[in-house]
Structure 1
């Protein structure tokens, strides 16, 4: 088949990782794959078409529709798969009248306004990545239940757990009748015992609501932990650090001033697996949490 994936990719979010992984799976099965997104480069061998899908001005949307419509026609695309509401919107109009099916994957809750329920731009089938989102689409978005299919995000785990020793010791700690709760110190102890510095990693985006939660950690949680555990390091892994709220930027500067190199500002990296191997505890959500747990690393989601 000839498959076109359309996605918003201003930054490398979980939905982008999902789309890239799916595109690579399609390629391994022998399909021809195109990706249309904001990004000029993505870690895929699929053919990339840079297009500002995230820009929602009507002029830009109409331009995106024309480009996608021409791409679908000229490359004889068999199916279009959209990965955000903005991508679904332009894809809906791009395939209209062309007898090309449109599938949308919904990765999060949709903004609720009149047009969301009255005008369904999601295509012939909709993939919800969890049951909660499927219920949201049925009950709040008022989407036809028969077009919704639940397909959880696929994650390729390594055959051997990266952090099995950490997982074992934490399990023993939890099973100890005298230990009624899992403390931060017990979470950090296994890596210290292995002769490596204990490391707490926040992995995820630093903009929007996630940025607000990160700012609260910078201000209220990380300082006392770093003062109590002298070998502890905190790694900040992910994109959009420049979009932290002002309180987060100030708190991060204070952390760096007080703790120096123990605060590791990594930013975006393709080597998340490598950081998991040297991390004692991960703070993350969504795909990050699943990958960390699959690697046997204790995770606070």
Structure 2
């Protein structure tokens, strides 16, 4: 199949990493992928078209977006469209209807609900929800029928995100002593994610640093709030009189960063990637603090996409600090939880399995389209 992936990325987010990993697996399966997005941060050997889909305030711009997608659909002989955001699903919906091809949208998060979006959801023929909380949100807030939604989680390339042997060169590059303990946080600095890590730097990390003197904290990411992050990190480093928290910027060697870490803090795909690398994870998202992932709370983590997709709840920063301190002092538990987490991801989030389910959605839509055409043709013959 020739599949058009439509995103609306202004920066690197989980939606792009989801799409990129899925694209690579679909290519291995023999499918041709074409991508449309505002920007593309990852290196991919596929046709890529840049369209500013976020510039949608003007009705004229929206019409231009639809016409641009129709041109690409015809030029690339597209079979199916796969959208990955609200900004991309709207023009993709109208382009798919005009071109008479199926549209599937992956819902990655909890979306704002407006009267216009309820009256015209524009998700397409099928929706893939990455968690149960997202699925419930689509049914409750947008009135989507249950049988139009497929619950398919994030897929993780478990061979790439695997237990790592970290070379000393990486520690030297980052200025970390050979035996020093490390916590890593990975994510963007914009929106709720940025506000979350800013508060964490001020309200959770100092207590941990006072109890674990050799600790190093890596903050991997970037975005529009970088200057604010730099100021907050500088203040904590001055408090402890050394570069104890490091801003690394965007990095594409995250498996090695996870492997370097004694624990990882994150939500969404970051939590799964770190678990796949056999690292214990403290799950905290934009809406909720789940805590240290264990067999007792893993289902809550999965259901809420590790704190990103649920009702907003206040974070107990002191509880988070205590959890970090206790775990850093227990090497056996770090190893035990790492082994368990790897098993969870391999058995439930393996990219090969997830890609197979996504292709199943594609094939179901494609065959449904063929059946509809046959029924129309048969009806015409009867007349």
TM norm structure 2? 0.66
Query: CA offset at residue 161 of structure 1?
Result: 5.2
Query: CA offset at residue 129 of structure 1?
Result: 0.7
**What secondary structure sits across from 2:150 in the alignment?**
strand
Paired with 2:163 and 2:45, the residues of 1 have a C-alpha distance of 27
Match of 1:232 in 2: 215
- For residues 176-195 of structure 1, the aligned pairs below 5 Å read none
Paired with 1:204 and 1:19, the residues of 2 have a C-alpha distance of 16
Q: Which has the higher contact order (CA 8 A, sep 6+)?
A: 2
The one of 221, 245, 248 equivalent to 1:263 is 245
Match of 2:25 in 1: 25
Query: CA offset at residue 35 of structure 1?
Result: 0.6
Aligned partners of 1:239 and 1:267 also within 8 Å: yes
- For residues 167-178 of structure 1, the aligned pairs below 5 Å read none
Query: CA offset at residue 143 of structure 1?
Result: 1.1
Match of 1:291 in 2: 273
Match of 1:35 in 2: 35
Paired with 2:41 and 2:202, the residues of 1 have a C-alpha distance of 35
The one of 180, 185, 189 equivalent to 1:206 is 189
Match of 2:151 in 1: 150
- For residues 5-84 of structure 1, the aligned pairs below 5 Å read 5-58=5-58, 59-84=60-85
2:274 aligned with 1:300: no
Q: 1:256 to 1:55 in 2, by over 3 A?
A: farther
Aligned partners of 1:211 and 1:245 also within 8 Å: no
**What secondary structure sits across from 2:55 in the alignment?**
coil
**What secondary structure sits across from 1:55 in the alignment?**
coil
Aligned partners of 1:27 and 1:46 also within 8 Å: no
Paired with 2:160 and 2:57, the residues of 1 have a C-alpha distance of 46
Match of 2:126 in 1: 125
Aligned partners of 2:21 and 2:157 also within 8 Å: no
TM norm structure 1? 0.84
Q: 1:285 to 1:93 in 2, by over 3 A?
A: same
Match of 1:170 in 2: none
Paired with 1:95 and 1:200, the residues of 2 have a C-alpha distance of 45
Match of 2:232 in 1: 251
2:258 aligned with 1:273: no
Q: 1:14 to 1:91 in 2, by over 3 A?
A: same
Paired with 2:161 and 2:140, the residues of 1 have a C-alpha distance of 41
Aligned partners of 2:3 and 2:80 also within 8 Å: yes
**What secondary structure sits across from 2:99 in the alignment?**
coil
Paired with 2:119 and 2:161, the residues of 1 have a C-alpha distance of 48
Q: Which runs of 5+ in 1 are unaligned?
A: 165-193
Deviations 1:151-202 (A, max 9, x none): 11111113995279xxxxxxxxxxxxxxxxxxxxxxxxxxxxx952101111
Aligned partners of 2:230 and 2:247 also within 8 Å: no
Aligned partners of 1:236 and 1:264 also within 8 Å: yes
**What secondary structure sits across from 1:57 in the alignment?**
coil
Match of 2:4 in 1: 4
Aligned partners of 1:215 and 1:249 also within 8 Å: no
Q: Identify, as 1 or 2, the structure richer in helix.
A: 2
2:217 aligned with 1:216: no
Match of 1:102 in 2: 103
Moved over 6 A (4+): none
Aligned partners of 1:24 and 1:45 also within 8 Å: no
Paired with 2:85 and 2:158, the residues of 1 have a C-alpha distance of 25
Deviations 1:11-57 (A, max 9, x none): 11111111111111221111211010111552221211111122222
After superposition, the CA RMSD in angstroms is: 2.1
**What secondary structure sits across from 1:87 in the alignment?**
helix
Paired with 1:285 and 1:215, the residues of 2 have a C-alpha distance of 15
